[in-house]
Structure 1
Amino acid sequence: MEQQPLLKVDNAGIRFGGLRAVADVEMELHAGELVGLIGPNGAGKTTFFNLLTGVYVPTEGSIFFNGEKLNKLPPYKITRRGVSRTFQNIRLFGELSVIDNVKVAYHSQAKHSIASSIFRMPGHFSGEKEMDHKALDFLKIFALESFKDEKAKNLPYGQQRRLEIARALAANPKLLLLDEPAAGMNPQETRDLMKLISLIRERFDLTVLLIEHDMPLVMGVCERIYVLDHGQMIAQGTPDEIRNNPKVIEAYLGEEVS
């Protein structure tokens, strides 16, 4: 029996007024896959991520996660079902400490009640201590434990990127969406990121969907790649198939390939 896809996108799209920003997109991701989503600037990649995470509601088609339709669910409910993401522009809480940025993701899973926190009951302190331990474990994985008390805004850019991924993982996702995680990184930081993405996929038994403009990174870590252009999916396949696909070459070079 064929395994049910973890994520199934069925002819999904969205219109903004008369503009069809994303149209007729189909995609399937199975548990444990590491898949890339590429395309020229303005192709609709981040808009598509916003559809998957409830930031935008599809005006056509359907999105299923673990067999459940996500179309009209708000972002926090989609997160609770196991979909977590990072953003193209880093969205950390700059004034909070590094460890508190990770702990924010744990509060939806907190075992102690709001009342115990308000009245500083024993359950509050034991719950906070447990979250401290979990958050520190994540920071160790990302080599950020020595910065745990530093304000997030004071971290170097590459480490802020790593912290954002750590926070997304702390939400305990089944599907992790990474929106241009290598943006602004130097070549060494990008190589380290490639290793980190593969490590976290295996360690946390994750499915990963990655938007990225850095082609060596995409080709180096992804098993399959989808290509979006002008809001439509124009190709999918292995890295070698995508690398040699005339439609993909045309989309990036802007000229027809004979």
Structure 2
Amino acid sequence: MLLEVNGASRSFGGLKALSEVSLHIRKGELIGLIGPNGAGKTTLFNLLTGVYPPSTGRILLNGHSVGGMKPYRINRRGAARTFQNIRLFTAMTVLENVKIAFHQHAKHSMISSMLRLPKHFRGEEEITGKAMEMLRIFSLADQADERAGNLSYGNQRRLEIARALAAGPKLLLLDEPAAGMNPNETRDLMNLIAWIRREFSLSILLIEHDMSLVMGVCDRIYVLDRGMLIADGAPAEIRSNPKVIEAYLGQEA
């Protein structure tokens, strides 16, 4: 099992944002996480990536406990994420944004960089090559020298995903990647996510409000409502689940 969450809860003062949530993701799975606004989806992502420690429960990544670990350590363990609100280094170039992610796996040391030794230049050349290849995969190579903040909204989303993949994750967590996109961009994103899963042989956990995207790409779906897990299953099961319908549309529906 790649990811196991057992009874995870998180409280903020007297508010319980998550209550005894348990889920699992196998290697190679593409899993959806849905629920109404305020259901606790992003809070769960924050627990999985070390932004907050769980108040109770265990989180295992590749069999190792990561609950309460610092974000950079969880990233090195194999989990990378994007954010609901795009977080790029907007004043830096497109290429520099991706190179930053590759640098954590750099083979040359800080001393070789400070002394400008040949190993530093070989390492930088290798990282630049890898970053350019990643940009080519995402059709961003021709904008490598452009400031990230100047990209279109859709291309900023693509760059954020490219940067996350540059960290070499086993688990990619996507927080509402289709937010702000038009239907054509959403359709392209759906194809891109399915392609990433195949090409990079990784698992994906996806928060998304666009049900056409979730139902179109996910193997299984977990549903949160008011911090509690109310359903999980295949897309067809979730679509017709009375608890899910009630959570989204209200009792009368």
Q: Deviations over 1:174-224 (max 9, x none)?
A: 000000000011111111101100111011100000000000000000010
Q: Deviations over 1:11-35 (max 9, x none)?
A: 0011111111101001010000000
* Structure-1 residue corresponding to 2:160: 164
The 3-state SS of whatever aligns with 1:105 is helix
Q: What CA distance in whole angstroms lies between the structure 1 residues aligned with 2:246 and 2:252?
A: 5
Identity among equivalent positions (%) equals 64
- Kindly report which structure 2 residues correspond to 1:219-258, keeping only aligned pairs within 5 A, or say none: 219-257=215-253
- Kindly report which structure 2 residues correspond to 1:83-232, keeping only aligned pairs within 5 A, or say none: 83-232=79-228
Q: What CA distance in whole angstroms lies between the structure 2 residues aligned with 1:256 and 1:173?
A: 43
Unaligned runs of 5+ in 2: none
Q: What CA distance in whole angstroms lies between the structure 1 residues aligned with 2:11 and 2:63?
A: 25
Q: Which moved more, 1:47-56 or 1:65-74?
A: 65-74
Query: What is the TM-score with the length of structure 1 in the denominator?
Result: 0.97
* Structure-2 residue corresponding to 1:22: 18
Q: CA RMSD in A?
A: 0.7
Counterpart amino acid of 1:173? P
Unaligned runs of 5+ in 1: none
The 3-state SS of whatever aligns with 1:106 is helix
Matched, 1:39 2:58: no
The 3-state SS of whatever aligns with 2:232 is strand
Give the drift of 1:71.
1.2
Give the drift of 1:256.
4.6
Moved over 2 A (4+): none
Give the drift of 1:72.
2.3
Q: Deviations over 1:34-89 (max 9, x none)?
A: 00000001111000000000000001111001111111210000000000000000
Q: What CA distance in whole angstroms lies between the structure 1 residues aligned with 2:169 and 2:252?
A: 41
Give the drift of 1:107.
1.2
Q: What CA distance in whole angstroms lies between the structure 2 residues aligned with 1:256 and 1:234?
A: 18
Counterpart amino acid of 2:231? A
Q: What CA distance in whole angstroms lies between the structure 1 residues aligned with 2:240 and 2:121?
A: 57
Counterpart amino acid of 1:253? L
* Structure-1 residue corresponding to 2:69: 73
Matched, 1:48 2:44: yes
Q: What CA distance in whole angstroms lies between the structure 2 residues aligned with 1:180 and 1:142?
A: 18
The 3-state SS of whatever aligns with 1:109 is coil
Query: What is the TM-score with the length of structure 2 in the denominator?
Result: 0.99
Q: What CA distance in whole angstroms lies between the structure 2 residues aligned with 1:141 and 1:27?
A: 32
Give the drift of 1:115.
1.0
Counterpart amino acid of 1:124? H
The 3-state SS of whatever aligns with 2:104 is helix
